[in-house]
Structure 1
Amino acid sequence: MCEIFAGQQPNRYTPITRRIRLNGQSTSIRLEAAFWAILDEIAGSQGLSTPKFISTLHSEVLELHGEAANFTSLLRCAALVHLGEAEAGNAAPLAAE
């Protein structure tokens, strides 16, 4: 069983830092490459660049809940929600890597 998880390519879980602007503020977000790939896919499906998608999501979170305690965790969970919707047939599945 663990071979499925342990055998994945290291480049999938390599942390990558991207500098973006959230509501005019410059910041860095560090996520694993696999999560960036999913966020890139979500953004593209919305006709947005990834920084614009993340900035829009951040604005909506602020409006709904106030400051997000851990925004990178929210991004990872957003990726999981997207994968769950794709599995359920509600979103386009990700292209094979």
Structure 2
Amino acid sequence: MCRIFAGQDPERFRMVTRRVRLSGHSTSVCLEAAFWGALEEIAAMQGVSLGRFLSKLHDEVLARGVERRNFAGLLRCACLTYAQEVKGHRPCVEELEREARTDFAAVAAAILPVGIAASFPAPEKERETA
């Protein structure tokens, strides 16, 4: 049983430190390489860069009144949530994609020049069922 876990490529659990910008402040986040890969997958699924995804997640956590003392831990748990509850569950993936289109299109419209903001896809309107 443990050979599945013990036999994994050591590169997956190599610690990787990256510089990120959160709420306008540059900081370092240290995570295992496998977690960085999962975060990149989540960001790509939402159609944004990893930096933009991390910044948005950080802002949303602060807006909920959660302390940011362990942002790396939050990111690891976000990866677990993604693996356990979202990935492979089409309704969850579709909801996450829909939320991302709405959130990031609104942000783009508010802060980017008109020509660039227009390149973000407009959120789809929910279909009404009769």
Q: Which of the five TM-score ranges fits, normalised by the shorter chain?
A: 0.7 to 0.9
Partner of 1:28: 28
Partner of 2:41: 41
Contiguous gaps of at least 5 residues in structure 2:
95-130
Higher strand share: 1
Determine if contact 1:16/1:30 at 8 Å carries over to the other structure. yes
Deviations 1:43-77 (A, max 9, x none): 11111110110011000000002422311110000
- For normalisation by structure 2, the TM-score amounts to 0.66
Equivalences, count: 92
Partner of 1:91: 93
Deviations 1:2-46 (A, max 9, x none): 111100000111110000110110100000010000000001111
Distance 1:17 1:44 in 2: 20
Mean CA deviation greater in 64-73 or 13-22: 64-73
Listed as ranges, the matches of 1:1-97 within 5 Å are 1-84=1-84, 85-89=86-90, 90-91=92-93
Contiguous gaps of at least 5 residues in structure 1:
93-97
Task: Kindly name which structure, 1 or 2, has the bigger radius of gyration based on alpha carbons.
Answer: 2
What RMSD in Å do the two structures reach over aligned CA positions?
A: 1.4
Percent of counterpart pairs with the same letter?
51
Determine if contact 1:82/1:91 at 8 Å carries over to the other structure. no
Determine if contact 1:12/1:32 at 8 Å carries over to the other structure. yes
Distance 1:69 1:24 in 2: 17
